[in-house]
Amino acid sequence: MSRQPRTVFRCTDCGAESPKWAGQCPNCGAWNSLEEAAAQPAAAAAQGARPRKTPAAPTRLSAVETETELRTPTGIEELDRVLGGGLVAGSVTLLGGDPGIGKSTLLLQCLAHLTARIPGLYVSGEESIAQIGLRAQRLGIQGDELQVLAETGVEAMLEAAHGGARGGVVVVDSIQTLSTDTVQSAPGGVAQVRESAARLVRWAKETGTALFLVGHVTKEGALAGPRVLEHMVDTVLYFEGDAGSRWRMIRAIKNRFGAANELGVFAMDDAGLKPVRNPSALFLSRHPDPVPGSAILVTREGTRPLLVEVQALVDTSPLSQPRRIALGLEQNRLSMLLAVLHRHAGVQMSDQDVYVNVVGGVRVSETAADLAVLAAALSSLRDRPLPTDLALFGEIGLAGEIRPVPNGEERVDEAIKHGFRRIILPQANRPRRPPAEVQVVQAGRLADAIDAMNEMTQ
């Protein structure tokens, strides 16, 4: 991308700018009217020359008056969870996801709930008003108070929002379709996306309007456009899910008003997206008979403990280099755990293919999954199923020790709530008040956990 020149040539008759001098103005045709002048940034040129402001004086931190942020519930529990409890006035949220995963559907449902209390505007640069109406009819949304607008110009959109949604909530679908008159490039370009987002963010902060921006993603799964877009907004949400599955998940990657890595789970059907209030039941297969290679992990997503099933398949490999494949887990960590299992438990899998999968398409990034992964792999290798009422969690170190993980008691409570009566956990995570009806095994070393599993499967 070419650098912006430090000087331009401005016509004294019409004000048009040219990057180089010419005898005749290319805009109005006046002769000898171009004069050299300092180039202005695009935003400054759009807003016109303003008098220089007096520099702001610094304020002592102790003298800053803080107020409790009032949040407006969206009416969708799982969306409120990832937002940190609801919408904050003046906040800007960026929602990204694959095409057709349900971004527009979710935000249209969200606006339908919110407009009963605050003004709302849905701006689409990809669909006509008739198409938006057809979607609303399919979702059963009346939308008596909801305003819709088909527009791709930032200036026209802000003018319409001033009259109908100032201080309420505005959805822009999508930021890649918008363009501003201050940048002479095609919509979706780096300069257009950056400048359009900057103007929208400034307007949202000045007017106290909650703003949702829908963002496209690249084939690698990252948000399209400049990386600075994620830094400009307050909250970044990613829509995840398999195109062939009805389950959808929203993960908070960044949140200035709540916890990051929070997870919201939805089910997609003909009537739109519906919150799943008990995701643990969703990710547990509940086999009618015990099967080898299955272990129940108590993981944690944001502030929510979650039970997921970890499945493993260990089989003799015909290759000189056996496969190590992990879905929903880090593959390099799987190789490390198998090496620890060999070194500190004497179980060798160097001639075996090892496949590990987390049921339901969940991505587990925390190290608390180590113990469940090895338990599932051992169960498959020995063709010996684990008890159906057993849950596990714990990090395994290179020395064979089982290290503690955060929020151990909350994980134990979640497992008990779903009917599990045996729990293997790190010794440092032992409950202060062990429940009488539950067998809690405190393992300090990997060998201790394996001995406990052997006793349970005899």
Q: Tens digit of pLDDT for each residue in 303-335?
A: 889 999 999 999 999 999 999 999 999 999 999
Encode pLDDT of 257-295 as tens digits.
988 888 899 999 888 999 998 888 877 876 778 899 999
174 token code pair: 């999508």
Exposure string of 345-358, with b = 16+ CB inside 10 Å and e = fewer, is: bebebeebbbbbbb
Q: What is the pLDDT of residue 5?
A: 47
Q: What is the pLDDT of residue 383?
A: 95
Encode pLDDT of 223-270 as tens digits.
877 788 999 999 999 988 876 778 888 999 999 998 888 889 999 988
Whether the CA torsion 293, 296, 299, 304 is positive or negative: it is positive
Q: Using pLDDT thresholds of 50, 70 and 90, give the confidence band for residue 423.
A: very high
DSSP β-bridge partners for residue 263: 251
Q: How far is Cα 311 from Cα 358, in angstroms, rounded to an integer?
A: 6
pTM, whole model, 2 decimals? 0.76
* Cβ atoms 329, 356 nearer than 8 A: yes
Long-range pairs, 32-40, Cβ under 8 A, ≥24: 34/9, 34/10, 35/9, 35/10, 36/7, 36/8, 36/9, 37/7, 37/8, 37/9, 37/10, 38/6, 38/7, 38/8, 39/4, 39/5, 39/6, 39/7, 39/8
Q: What is the pLDDT of residue 43?
A: 47
Encode pLDDT of 390-418 as tens digits.
999 999 999 999 999 999 999 999 999 99
Between 210 and 285, the higher pLDDT residue: 210
Encode pLDDT of 105-154 as tens digits.
999 999 999 998 999 999 999 999 999 999 999 999 988 889 999 999 99
Q: How far is Cα 354 from Cα 361, in angstroms, rounded to an integer?
A: 18
Instruction: Please choose, from the candidates 310, 247, 329, 250, the residue with its C-alpha nearest in 3D space to the C-alpha of residue 282.
Output: 247
Q: How far is Cα 21 from Cα 8, in angstroms, rounded to an integer?
A: 8
Query: What is the number of alpha carbons within 13 Å of residue 62 lying toward its C-beta?
Result: 0
Between 434 and 161, the higher pLDDT residue: 161
Rounded to the nearest 10 degrees, the angle between the axes of helix 331-345 and helix 446-457 is 80
Q: How far is Cα 76 from Cα 430, in angstroms, rounded to an integer?
A: 36
